[in-house]
Amino acid sequence: EVQLVESGGGLVQPGGSLRLSCAASGFTFSSYDMHWVRQGTGKGLEWVSTIGTSGDTYYPGSVKGRFTLSRENSKNSLYLQMNSLRDGDTAVYFCVRGDTMVQGVIPSYYYVMDVWGQGTTVTVSS
């Protein structure tokens, strides 16, 4: 069974740090991009970070310079180091697998987020 299991969430004070982990199973972890997507309480989905199969990373401006994403393929694991945490970082953080769907005789490639973990909750509060 393809599965992603997040851990590491908790309560942290503003300015503090937290490291989230995601354990993958049931697929060849090293062959896939991986993402973190977060959701504040009662809010929508927000992309947080991406790591490609080559280790290239991408972040939105809201977390760039504060969050660092890494992967350890030998352990089928993904890590999100979050520093200088703010109230606005309070959310459920989902670990997500990215994949490419191919369509057409002349192939077109469509990117999807097709496997999601159950999420881990991060609360930033004094």
Partner 1 sequence: DIQMTQSPSSLSASVGDRVAITCRASQSISSYLNWYQQKPGKAPKLLIYAASSLQSGVPSRFSGSGSGTDFTLTISSLQPEDFATYYCQESYSNPPWTFGQGTKVEIK
The rounded distance, in Å, linking the Cα atoms of 98 and 94 is 12
* The only residue of 18, 29, 35, 63 in contact with partner 1, by rule CB under 8 A: 35
Q: Is 27 in the site for partner 1 (CB under 8 A)?
A: no
Residues 48-67 that bind partner 1 (CB under 8 A): 50, 58, 60
Contact call for residue 21 and partner 1 (CB under 8 A): no
> Partners of 82 in the beta sheet?
18, 67
- Of 21-29, 69-77, 80-88, 100-108, which part binds partner 1 (CB under 8 A)? 100-108
Part of the chain binding partner 1 (CB under 8 A), chosen from 8-16, 63-71, 72-80, 112-120: 112-120
Among 45, 66, 79, 90, binds partner 1 (CB under 8 A): 45
Examine residue 101 and tell whether it contacts partner 1 (CB under 8 A): yes
C-alpha distances (whole Å) from 61 to each of 53, 78, 102 are 22, 21, 30
By the 8 A CB rule, do 82 and 64 touch?
no
Return the number of other C-beta atoms located less than 10 Å from residue 75's C-beta. 12
Residue 88 binds partner 1 (CB under 8 A): no
Q: How far is CA 78 from CA 22, 49, 81, in A?
A: 5, 11, 10
